[in-house]
Amino acid sequence: MFWQVIASNRRKTVLLIIAMGVVLAALGFFLGEAVGIWSQYTTFSAMSEGDGAAGEHKAGYIGLGIAVGFWAVLLLVSLLGSDQLFLSLAGAKEVTHDMYPQLHNVVEEMRIAASLPVLPKIFIVDDPAPNAFAVGKGPKNSAICVTAGLLALCDRDELQGVVAHEMGHIANRDVLYMTVAATMLGAVTIIADTFLRSLRYAPAARYRSSGSRGGKGMANLWLLLAAFLFVVLSPILSRILYFSISRSREFLADATSARLTRFPDGLASALEKIMLSPERLTTAPQAAAPFYIANPYKQDLDGGMFATHPPLAERIRILRSMHKGASLKDYVKAYWEVTRTRKTLLAASDMELGRVIEKRGPSPKDTLREGAPDSSARKAGDIMRAMNDYVFISCACGMKMKVPPEFTRGNVRCPRCNREHMIGEADSNALAAILTATAAFTRNANHSRPLSATGRQTETPQVEQRKPGTWQTVKCSGCGRGVQVSPVFNLSRVTCPTCGNAIEFEGEKESFL
Amino acid sequence: MTGTVVFWLIVAVLVIVLLYLIGIYNALVGLRNQVKNAWSQIDVQLKRRHDLIPNLVETAKGYMKHERETFENVTRARADATGARGVPQIAQAESRLTEAISRFMAVVENYPELKANENFLALQEELSSTENRIAFARQAYNDAVLFLNNKIEMFPSSIIANMFTFSREAFFEMEDASERTAPKVSFS
């Protein structure tokens, strides 16, 4: 753990809350003033003429009061429920172990490596752009979210690198800081935006503020100008404040990822895939951009003042130049080497100078299986579909149909063999269906042809009694799998989708077709 | 006058030394608890692996008709590992089990039908995840042990450690060198 980083994150969170409070209060004051002056020159000009000095900034103080109240509400929201807010803004859905065992396992592994007390909640966003983010209040209450695109593109090692990066944000308490900051930034942006927009439709009062009102009118005009300037500048100011601090965090999270996984190349190659992907994230709220492992809006190739993330290419180069080991010290050395600076990324007490962490090799090919580009893209898509109430129907001819919830008719015909299927009565347990569907898919991709070629089906087939007109499940004698046939299935022979064993049916046949 | 000043100075120094010693003692207790906690993390994952193996063997039996020896090896290694007591013995038994599993997985290579079985694939993912978890938990455990042992051996905390009989803990070392660098189930 980076104790110095954690302590400084706590400090910065408090500082940021105060700074944002001041900005908001000033914004409220100026806006109130502006509105006050405005009304003075338009509808209420006759009344306000008589107001004394005490009432001069009345509107301003009202605005200030509103802003402070707003700030308090924001603070409460960001401390209590902003993680949920961002997750729902991003359109994230929680996944269980059964839905995506690999992702769950990888998160659990990284939780153990980071020795966090509680497993973060795991979410998936249905977006083809590869990306990931973490939100939460601290190690005991956090969530990690990855996009379907990331799951589709990355193999196990790469996924592990990305998850470890997010775990780093959680362990270093970056999440709380980022959540609070994003909420505050979002609020300032929204207020300023609303004001500027309303300005456009405001009555053209400016032209009436001619010299007849003398010095007071001029002073008010200056105040109005100041208010205007402040409104324009405050979102930019808060953004600079926010983004400038969020960049070094990415390096630190990368360093943590390398240390936890002991395999910096995993994260590096994931980042490469993210960099090269042509997809752009469509679900990311603007204020939440710094949450993501790579900026969802632009690829940060230059790393200008507004960049939320350091250039991806630089991060990759640093990870790739960790030749000796995977410790924090090795990362800092690689960082110095690549950026040609001696900037202190980490306090010396956090660097664990004495520690030697050997790099490990890549995991064996078989365990990376789920990352094969075609199959896992389909799998990630299927998980999203299952969560969005798609119905999965497996036809006896081997065709898999995915029926969207918008489809209202009660039955559907298989496009390959023209059998009719009742929706609703079909696999209502969509999850089970996906699991079998994806497993069947992997098998199709690898082994189904060689299997039937070995002539397995010529062995004595298994014989079962067919109950016509009903759903029926028979146990395959070859592999023990339950093979299900639909009420409309009226052929005398079915092939087990797992092992290719032939099962013959006896008994009456009811004709449907 | 000077006598009372000296007296209070001595008292102050004694109090400071006492507080310091209490601090060392508490740090030692904290480290020992950390080691215990880290060990329980490993223990959970080792148990998880022991529970997974019978399922794996059961699933494979339907396909691998002529590999009795391989099955027996795995089952025996698992029984040894479940029965082992004490960190060094457990470490030894567990690394033998790891070896048996990787030999078993090498044999699986010859059975493409088994490799396509969805049940088996799911178990394989769980198993390799468990192996990773053991590796990561072992890392955390060894870190904790290193800190504790250093504290016990180094002056001045060594005095307190001897007084209250804090004992050094054993590292959890897997014997196989390849296993040490790579947390993995090897299939090839």
Which residue in chain B is spatially nearest to A451 when comparing CA positions? Answer: B113
Specify if B131 maps to a domain.
yes
Mark yes or no for CB contact B124/A443 under 8 Å: no
What's residue A502's pLDDT? Answer: 76
What's residue A210's pLDDT? Answer: 44
- Residue A136 carries which DSSP code? E
| Residue position matching structure tokens 């060990």 | B39
Mean pLDDT, rounded, for A156-172: 91
What's residue B9's pLDDT? Answer: 93
What's residue A412's pLDDT? Answer: 79
Q: Distance (Å) from the C-alpha of residue A483 to the closest C-alpha of chain B?
A: 13
pLDDT digits (tens, 9 = 90+) for A28-72: 777 777 777 766 665 544 444 444 444 566 777 887 888 888 888
Mean per-residue pLDDT over chain A, rounded: 72
Return the structure tokens found at A225: 């100008």
Between residues A204 and A199, the one the model is more confident about: A199
ipTM of the prediction: 0.76
The pTM of the full predicted model, rounded to 2 decimals, is 0.69
Contacts of A170 (CB under 8 A, 6+ apart): A114, A116, A120, A134, A136, A138, A139, A142, A144
* A387 in contact with B, Cβ within 8 Å: no
Query: Does residue B27 surpass a pLDDT of 80?
Result: yes
CB atoms within 10 A of CB B12: 10
Between residues A191 and A442, the one the model is more confident about: A191
Specify if B4 maps to a domain.
no
Provide the pairing of β-strand A132-138 with A141-147: antiparallel
* A327 in contact with B, Cβ within 8 Å: no
Mean pLDDT, rounded, for B40-50: 89
Please give the positions of A annotated as active site: 166
Specify if B46 maps to a domain.
yes
What's residue A217's pLDDT? Answer: 60
The C-alpha atoms of residue A260 and residue B37 are separated, in whole angstroms, by 19
- The number of CA neighbours under 13 Å toward the Cβ of A56 is 8
What's residue A376's pLDDT? Answer: 55
The three state secondary structure string of A186-252 is HHHHHHHHHHHHHHHHCCCHHHHCCHHHHHHHHHHHHHHHHHHHHHHHHHHHHHHHHHHHHHHHHHH
Kindly write down the DSSP assignment for every residue of A102-121, as one continuous string.
HHHHHHHHHHHHTT-SSPPE
Mean pLDDT, rounded, for A151-176: 88
Residues of A in contact with B147 (CB under 8 A): none
CA separation, residue B33 to residues A465, B29, B42, B146 (Å): 62, 6, 14, 13
CATH number of the CATH domain containing B150: 1.20.1440.20
Window from A73-77, A113-117, A463-467 with minimum mean pLDDT: A463-467
Specify if B136 maps to a domain.
yes
What's residue A44's pLDDT? Answer: 47
Domain coverage including residue B168: 32-181
Q: Which of A105, A364, A370 is facing B187, going by the closest CB pair? A: A364
Mean pLDDT, rounded, for A342-360: 68
* A1 in contact with B, Cβ within 8 Å: no
CA B55: distance to chain centroid? 23
CA angle A140, A146, A151 (to 5 degrees): 135
The C-alpha atoms of residue A238 and residue A188 are separated, in whole angstroms, by 8
Q: Which of B33, B49, B65, B118 to mutate to test the interface with A (most CBs of A within 10 A)?
A: B118
Mark yes or no for CB contact A108/B133 under 8 Å: yes
Asked whether the beta carbons of A179 and A160 are under 8 A apart, the reply is no
Phi-psi region of A469 (alpha: psi -120 to 50; beta: other; left: phi over 0): left
What's residue A513's pLDDT? Answer: 41
Mark yes or no for CB contact B38/A115 under 8 Å: yes
CA angle A210, A213, A215 (to 5 degrees): 105
What's residue B173's pLDDT? Answer: 78
Return the structure tokens found at A469: 């007109």
Mark yes or no for CB contact A451/B121 under 8 Å: no
What's residue A49's pLDDT? Answer: 42
Specify if B3 maps to a domain.
no
Specify if B11 maps to a domain.
no
pLDDT digits (tens, 9 = 90+) for A300-327: 444 455 566 777 888 899 999 888 778 8
Query: Does residue A461 surpass a pLDDT of 70?
Result: no
Mean pLDDT, rounded, for A469-488: 76
Between residues A364 and A339, the one the model is more confident about: A339
Between residues A451 and B82, the one the model is more confident about: B82
Window from A75-79, A225-229, A250-254, A366-370 with minimum mean pLDDT: A366-370
Q: How confident is the model at residue A477 (pLDDT cuts 50, 70, 90)?
A: confident
What's residue A283's pLDDT? Answer: 67
Phi, psi (rounded to 5 degrees) for A23:
-60, -45
Which residue in chain A is spatially nearest to B129 when comparing CA positions? Answer: A105
Mark yes or no for CB contact B116/A366 under 8 Å: no
Mean pLDDT, rounded, for B29-53: 89
Number of domains forming the structure of chain B: 1
3-state helix, strand, coil in chain A (%, to 5): 55, 10, 35
Q: How confident is the model at residue A292 (pLDDT cuts 50, 70, 90)?
A: confident
What's residue A120's pLDDT? Answer: 92
Window from A2-11, A157-166, A249-258, A424-433 with minimum mean pLDDT: A424-433
Specify if B26 maps to a domain.
no
